[in-house]
Chain A
Amino acid sequence: MSAGVGVDLESLWIRFGDFVAVRDANVHINGGDFFSFLGPSGCGKTTILRAVSGFLEPSEGNVLIGGRNMKGIGPNKRPTALIFQNLALFPLMKVWENIAFSMEINGASAAERRKRADELLDMIALPGQGDKLPSELSGGQRQRVAIARALCAEPDVLLLDEPLSALDLKLRQHMRTELREIQKRVGITFIYITHDQGEALTMSDNIAVMREGIIDQIGDGKAIYNDPATAFAASFVGENNVFRGKIKRISGDEALVATNRSGDLVARISTANQGKMKEGDDAMMFIRPEAFAIASKGAKGDHFVTAKVNHEEFEGNSFNIFMEGGGGKELKVTIPNLGQSFKDHTGQSLTLEYEIKNSVVVPAGELAAE
């Protein structure tokens, strides 16, 4: 399988009247990558997808597919195939006719189309279902038919617009694995739009985190999760405890933050911000719930947090402890359930410890809405 065709967005601006949907997006997507745009609804990620597929002309900047500028090229001439949020299967055509629609456009004979459709039906594990109507399939099956229809057009880039959002949880998780497998099998570039960080993290080679038309960070799942570049990325991807404060001292890539409520704490400055922050800056410090461990009582230092336990809950694979105080309004700690005896701390004061490499400091900024 070839390396696939890459996609580049060069200083892309998209405006609707006065509203700026996409602001100066610069993205390089490697050929054969599974690339996700992750962001809350209304952040402009679907707009980017429509610009790549050709339904929308950018106000400024360029979309390059395989190095070729796509300016003025219509959606039917681009080497892309889009999987719509509602799938947009043709309701009056049978499943096999849906799948082979792109061949019908090219004037292929019915026998050829049928043969190719049956091959694709085998690939998506729906053999023998070609004569049904889309309405007779289940949600997950329709999903796979939409993928087969897009793949039948043999695109260089497959664009997926939140295709799993209409499915129930079980099916969604199953389809994640399946999508990833299909992508590996066909080896073409997938551009995936989602607001679900779980989907983005599990499937993607690389992720772009978007907020209000701005791309905050681009990186692989681990980088996004462990080394967020902005407060938004830190709070949007996964759960996080936020400590607001000011930077007191910087030494190397570590910063001592004077937090508003939890005293002075040390944390690592996120890679993207190293060398850009200085003493006295407003900063936000993030520590993941699972990065905490319960420390011995009364331990003091710049990587200990003490707070009062509000309530606790047992989640099966973990215990969640919710504490008052801390940097934010509430502090969440997740202790994995390893079969240890776990006594209820409700009402008590508890000291927590974290490793500095598991904490991160970014400039103060907008947090993701709950």
Chain B
Amino acid sequence: MKNLSFLRLSVWFYLAIFFAYLLGPLIIMSATAFNSPDFPRITPWECLTFEWFSALFQDERILNGIKNSVIIGFGTVVLSVAMGLAGALLLTQIWPKLRATYYTIIIAPILIPGVVLGISTLVFWDRINRMLGLGADSFLSNGLFLTIIGQSTFIASYCMLVLVARLQRYDVALTEAALDLGATHAQAFRKVLLPFMRPALASAAVLAFLASFENYNTTTFTFGEYPTLTIELAQKVRYGITPAISALAFIIVVLTVFAALANEAKIKRQQLVLAARQNASIEELKQGIKLPGFLSGNAAAVALVLVSIATVVVVVTATTHSPAQCIADVKEQKRIEAEKLIQELRAKRDANRAKEDNKEDVQQAPKSENNSGFGNVFDPNALSTDN
């Protein structure tokens, strides 16, 4: 018994460490978005503020970066999912003896460093551009085009891996059945294979978008006049960052959590509906299926609703909350601290210079009354941690 509980305890301990390792940086970074100092940090906590969000949305370069990232993301999704699907289909059709070789070739871009892909994309298309006798401002040297092409070289391989996994579970007899019933190959593809692949296509699209969005190595060579978000962030970091970047991180984290929960809730709901359908008799089916309540037995949906409520609360707080008073208070505090320090120094100097002079004490008396509410912030040690 003792051993068992110890084991259980250590499992929990391990889980705690694991999740702290995974999520700790994200949580801390998110928290810094709400603290007022100019540099992202959580200690000392000064004032709850939302100004970094407005600062973020006023930063032209960040906004432009997001726009470019989204455009490139969508372009990459279209190109790499299409190429990935073609590659996956070919893998199932190709002569078995060639399959291993083909697989290696098509997987190779994942193993090649992104930097190399970036440089080679740039060099290759520059050659093509010159061969065609086009100028430096042609379509082929456009930053968006090059970045989409460059990223797709390896993201298409990721997509192919996702699609191959689904395709392996596809029964070729389904295509044959469609053909046998009179469908052309194109119809069989569109009406039977494609619907079957849809979940994997969605996964591949999400994966491709995320991989494109976060890519830096390849993009850094190809972006031209269209810097993506990661490029902008990297350039910003060089000159020092503000909590506005934390605010961006927070938004991305919230969106991710939201999307993940929504997806989970949807899957759970489908399972519940399916279970309900299977349990229902024919009569019930005829009358239309009684859907279970959206939330019953669906933990993900509950979490989703909670996150939504939390988001609404935060937004409402943000619109009503004014950190001005707090910031003023903090400023006042800092001013007082500085003054106190000056006075202390002055007192020390005065004490050293003329110990018999007692009139200064009378002047200090009102100040100490004022400061009584601030606890030990006037401790000289506390000062050293700030500024």
Tell me whether B196 and A53 are in contact (CB under 8 A). no
Residues 103 to 142 of chain A near chain B (Cβ within 8 Å): 104-106, 128-129, 131-132, 136
Q: How far is the CA of A120 from the CA of B173 in the complex (A)?
A: 23
**Could you tell me how many residues of chain A have their Cβ less than 8 Å away from some Cβ of chain B?**
30
Our pick among A77, A82, A128, A129 for the contact of B177 (Cβ within 8 Å) is: A82
Q: Count of A-B contacts with CB under 8 A?
A: 65
Q: How far is the CA of A326 from the CA of B215 in the complex (A)?
A: 82
Q: Can you name the residue of chain B whose Cβ is closest to the Cβ of A129?
A: B282
Given A76-B184, A131-B285, A132-B285, verify A84-B179 contact (CB < 8 Å): no
Tell me whether B176 and A55 are in contact (CB under 8 A). yes
Q: Which of B182, B196, B278, B286 has the most CB of A within 10 A?
A: B182
Tell me whether A128 and B282 are in contact (CB under 8 A). yes
Q: Does A369 contact B (CB under 8 A)?
A: no
Q: Which of B49-57, B150-158, B187-195, B247-255 contacts A (4 or more CB under 8 A)?
A: B187-195
In the A-B complex, the 10 residue pairs with the smallest Cβ-Cβ separation, listed nearest first, are A88-B173, A88-B177, A102-B181, A82-B180, A105-B182, A76-B179, A75-B179, A105-B183, A84-B173, A92-B195
Chain B proximity of A189: nearest CB distance (Å): 16
Could you mark each residue 228-243 of chain A with 1 if its beta carbon is under 8 Å from any beta carbon of chain B, else 0? 0000000000000000
Our pick among A81, A90, A129 for the contact of B180 (Cβ within 8 Å) is: A81
Tell me whether A86 and B173 are in contact (CB under 8 A). yes
Could you mark each residue 254-273 of chain B with 1 if its beta carbon is under 8 Å from any beta carbon of chain A, else 0? 00000000000000000000
Our pick among B179, B192, B286 for the contact of A90 (Cβ within 8 Å) is: B192
Tell me whether B180 and A75 are in contact (CB under 8 A). yes
Could you mark each residue 180-221 of chain B with 1 if its beta carbon is under 8 Å from any beta carbon of chain A, else 0? 111110010001100110000000000000000000000000
Q: How far is the CA of A76 from the CA of B286 in the complex (A)?
A: 35
Tell me whether A86 and B183 are in contact (CB under 8 A). no
Residues 71 to 111 of chain A near chain B (Cβ within 8 Å): 74-77, 80-82, 84, 86, 88-92, 101-102, 104-106
Query: What residues of B have a CB within 8 angstroms of the CB of A106 in the complex?
Result: 182
Chain A proximity of B243: nearest CB distance (Å): 48
Chain B proximity of A155: nearest CB distance (Å): 9
Given A86-B171, A90-B174, A90-B192, verify A105-B181 contact (CB < 8 Å): yes
Q: Can you name the residue of chain B whose Cβ is closest to the Cβ of A101?
A: B181
Tell me whether A91 and B196 are in contact (CB under 8 A). yes
16 contacts between A and B (CB under 8 A): A53-B180, A54-B180, A55-B180, A76-B180, A82-B180, A86-B171, A88-B173, A90-B174, A91-B174, A101-B178, A101-B181, A102-B182, A104-B191, A128-B286, A131-B285, A132-B285
Q: What secondary structure prevails in chain B residues at the interface with A?
A: helix
Query: What residues of B have a CB within 8 angstroms of the CB of A91 in the complex?
Result: 174, 196
Q: Can you name the residue of chain A whose Cβ is closest to the Cβ of B288?
A: A131
Q: Does A153 contact B (CB under 8 A)?
A: yes
Query: What residues of A have a CB within 8 angstroms of the CB of B182 in the complex?
Result: 76-77, 102, 105-106, 153
Q: How far is the CA of A89 from the CA of B173 in the complex (A)?
A: 9
Interface residues of B (CB under 8 A from A): 171, 173-174, 176-184, 187, 191-192, 195-196, 277-278, 282, 285-286
Q: Does A149 contact B (CB under 8 A)?
A: yes
Q: How far is the CA of A75 from the CA of B191 in the complex (A)?
A: 17
Query: What residues of B have a CB within 8 angstroms of the CB of A55 in the complex?
Result: 176, 179-180
Tell me whether B196 and A81 are in contact (CB under 8 A). no
Chain A proximity of B193: nearest CB distance (Å): 10
Q: Can you name the residue of chain A whose Cβ is closest to the Cβ of B184?
A: A76
Our pick among B180, B184, B195, B278 for the contact of A80 (Cβ within 8 Å) is: B180
Chain B proximity of A53: nearest CB distance (Å): 6
Chain B proximity of A131: nearest CB distance (Å): 7
Q: Which of A89, A105, A128, A150 has the most CB of B within 10 A?
A: A105
Tell me whether A136 and B196 are in contact (CB under 8 A). no
Q: Can you name the residue of chain A whose Cβ is closest to the Cβ of B280?
A: A136
Query: What residues of A have a CB within 8 angstroms of the CB of B191 in the complex?
Result: 101, 104
Tell me whether B183 and A84 are in contact (CB under 8 A). no
Query: What residues of A have a CB within 8 angstroms of the CB of B187 in the complex?
Result: 105
Q: How far is the CA of A136 from the CA of B267 in the complex (A)?
A: 18
Query: What residues of B have a CB within 8 angstroms of the CB of A92 in the complex?
Result: 195-196
Query: What residues of A have a CB within 8 angstroms of the CB of B195 in the complex?
Result: 92
Q: Can you name the residue of chain A whose Cβ is closest to the Cβ of B185?
A: A76
Instruction: A74-B179, A132-B285 are known; give 10 further A-B pairs, CB within 8 A.
Output: A54-B180, A55-B176, A75-B176, A88-B171, A88-B176, A90-B177, A90-B178, A90-B192, A91-B196, A101-B183
